[in-house]
Amino acid sequence: MIDRRLLTNIDWMLIGLMTAICLLGIMNIYSATTPYKIVGAPYYLKQFYWVLFGLLVVTVICSFDYHILEDFSYWFYGFLIILLVAVLVVGRRSMGATRWLSLGFFNVQPSELMKVVIIATFAKYFTNVQTVNGLSVKDVLFPLGILAVPVLLIMKQPDLGTAVLVLLIALSLAVYVGLRWSTVVTFALVMVPMLWLGWAKLLRPYQKNRILDFLNPERSRLGSGYHIIQSKIAVGSGGVFGKGFVKGTQSQLRFLPEQHTDFAFSVFAEEWGFIGCLVLIVLYLVLVLWGLNIARRCNDRFGSLLAVGVTAMLFWHIVINMGMVIGLFPVVGVPLPFFSYGGTSMITSMVGIGILQNISMRRFMF
């Protein structure tokens, strides 16, 4: 399956960007968790192992032709819906939400996998849709159904962050395929009452609070607004050059909550300042643009859609996480790809890179 042509076509740009961000991430986790060192849990080492495991995942994915995704995407989709239902029925509860499915020796989070599967499903569907003038209202009804089922199941867990991400990824794909203006207007008219209903009926009080706190962080200085305020102080006090590695007072004094996971970027911003942020953001920007470039170069419609979907997934993770840390978005608990501590996030992002690499390697295979 892997012939020499594939090896010579390895996308080093992709691998290089990803590795650079991973290394910055590990370094940052080292700093963010120094106050915890007494626990004797070397988070940065664990993260390093996750990166290695992730590279293995990338290799495995590359060894298959991505077109098998086209054949199996609906099957994956169905299987994951069953898993999402199973989560609600027998899932493991932690912190008031049921997201995990215990498979004996390890736990999986089906909602995380759903991000990738929705990309493949949408890519397959749109590959076969006539779109000369863009998608009509009729064209989007079926994908909308495909989307609604997992999104509602994920919101039920409840995992607002993932639900929003799945929505955004699907929306990005639809925009890429092209939407008629009439479609956009129709949906805008339908969405307004839907949003109102969703706010009134679906959102949990704590989720509403997070959104209200985001609009006005002073609302609950010690509640959910605390995260945003502390994070902004950390980022802002970093200045141009930052306070230096392992010298961030905000993080080192543990004023910041969840500093190695969702708020890892705020530690980084405090210690490396605007210059450091600039470097990191440029790395991410180039990564996202490179992903789009892979989509552009790919002459096969399914591959191109797949690449745009994966890129959209990475892009929204980056924008929402950074936006949240610097107070532009509500705190929804979305990790920063390759940077935040955590195995699940690392594997999802690596699967994305694997798919991009897969497409990039096979661009001359027609």
Partner 1 sequence: MKEQRFVREISESKRRILILSFVVGGIFFLLLLRLWHLQILSVDDYRNMSESNRLRFVPVAASRGAIMDRNGTVLVSNQPSFSLAVVPQEVENKDELLDHLATLLGMDRAELSERWEKGKGRAKYYPIILASNISRDQVEIVEENHLRLPGVEIEMKPVREYASGVLAAHLLGYIGEISEDELSAKGFEEYNPGDYLGKNGIERSWEKELHGNDGGRQLEVDARGRVLRTISESYPTVGNSVVLTIDARIQKQAEKAFGDQAGAAVAMDVNTGEVLAFVSNPGFDPALFSGKMPADTWKEYLDDKRHPLENKALTGQYPPGSTFKIITALAGLEDGKIDGNTSVNCNGSYELGTSTFKCWNKHGHGVTNLKKSLRESCDVYFYQLGERLGVDRIAAMAKRFMLGSPMGIGLAHEKAGLIPTAEWKLKRFGKRWLHGETVPVSIGQGYVLMTPIQLVSMIATVANEGNVYRPYLVKRIVDADGRPLREFKPELMGTTGISADKFKLVKQGLFAVVNEPGGTGGAARLSDVHVAGKTGSSQVVKLRDSKQATPYQYRDHALFVAFAPYEKPEIAVAVIVEHGEHGGSAAAPIAGRILRAWFDSKKPPKKEPARRLKNQDEEGTDEEAEPPAKQQGVNEEKADD
Residue showing tokens 């009509």: 136
Which residue among 58, 163, 267, 295 contacts partner 1 (CB under 8 A)?
A: 295
Nearer to partner 1, 8 or 216 (CB): 216
Segment 255-294, which members bind partner 1 (CB under 8 A)?
255, 269, 273-274, 277-278, 281, 284-285, 288-289, 292-293
| Contact region with partner 1 (CB under 8 A), list: 55-63, 140-148, 242-250, 330-338 | 242-250
252 binds partner 1 (CB under 8 A): yes
174 binds partner 1 (CB under 8 A): no
129 binds partner 1 (CB under 8 A): no
Length of the chain: 366
CB 17 within 8 A of CB 318: no
35 binds partner 1 (CB under 8 A): yes
Residues of the chain by 3-state class (helix, strand, coil), percent to 5: 75, 5, 25
Q: How far is the CB of 244 from partner 1 (least distance, A)?
A: 10
204 binds partner 1 (CB under 8 A): no
Q: How far is the CB of 335 from partner 1 (least distance, A)?
A: 16
Q: How far is the CB of 129 from partner 1 (least distance, A)?
A: 11
107 sits in which H/E element: strand 107-108
Q: What are phi and psi of 96, to 5 degrees?
A: 80, 0
How many angstroms separate the CA atoms of 269 and 325, rounded? Answer: 10
CB 270 within 8 A of CB 256: no
Which residues contribute to the site for partner 1 (CB under 8 A)? 35, 38-40, 131-132, 175-176, 178, 230, 232-240, 247, 249-250, 252-255, 269, 273-274, 277-278, 281, 284-285, 288-289, 292-293, 295-296, 299, 301, 304, 308, 315, 319, 322-323, 326-328
